[in-house]
Amino acid sequence: MDSLYTYRYIREGRSILREPLCPFCGCFFERPQEIEIDIEFVLGGRCECGAIYVCDPSGRNLGEVYMNALLMLSGGDWDKASSLDADVDFEERTLNYDPKAHRLVRSSTGLLQRMYNGKIIFLRMRSRIHKSD
């Protein structure tokens, strides 16, 4: 990386990064930690509002990360995780995320998309629905 590129990276980078706030309640969320769920390790955390989040630093494993997020939302219960319906049982927000800076990224297109390809998925239960067995 030459110095001009580095300069542009920093300058443009700063302008598009924003505070790490939960998309549901607007509170700051903690830097994702390694959490063991079932047999998986995920990079994620839990917000005070009950939302959970899981980070995909590469942005290339979103499907897998999304499943892990669902599992985390269900407290490690695969049956419950597979019975949940998006937009019925829970809400989902996928945001651009820079795990090194611990900042959300406003938009990532073109060149920025290659610099900031990390994603963070937030899930929150809509309400406590108890389905009968």
Distance CA 90, CA 13 (A): 32
Among positions 13, 16, 24, 38, the unique one binding Zn ion when judged by CB under 5 A: 24
Distance CA 122, CA 46 (A): 9
Give the interface segment with Zn ion, choosing from 48-56, 58-66, 74-82, 100-108 (CB under 5 A). Answer: 48-56
- The answer to whether 17 and 103 have CB atoms below 8 angstroms apart is yes
Among positions 8, 19, 30, 49, the unique one binding Zn ion when judged by CB under 5 A: 49
Minimum CB separation of residue 3 from Zn ion in Å reads 40
How many Å separate Cα 108 from the centre of its chain?
15
Minimum CB separation of residue 97 from Zn ion in Å reads 15
**CA count, 13 A, side-chain hemisphere, 41:** 2
Q: Is residue 30 at the binding interface for Zn ion, with CB under 5 A as the rule?
A: no
Distance CA 50, CA 41 (A): 20
Q: Is residue 112 at the binding interface for Zn ion, with CB under 5 A as the rule?
A: no
Minimum CB separation of residue 20 from Zn ion in Å reads 11
Longest Cα separation, the chain: 62
Among positions 9, 13, 21, 22, the unique one binding Zn ion when judged by CB under 5 A: 22
Q: Is residue 65 at the binding interface for Zn ion, with CB under 5 A as the rule?
A: no
Binding site for Zn ion (CB under 5 A): 22, 24-25, 47, 49, 51
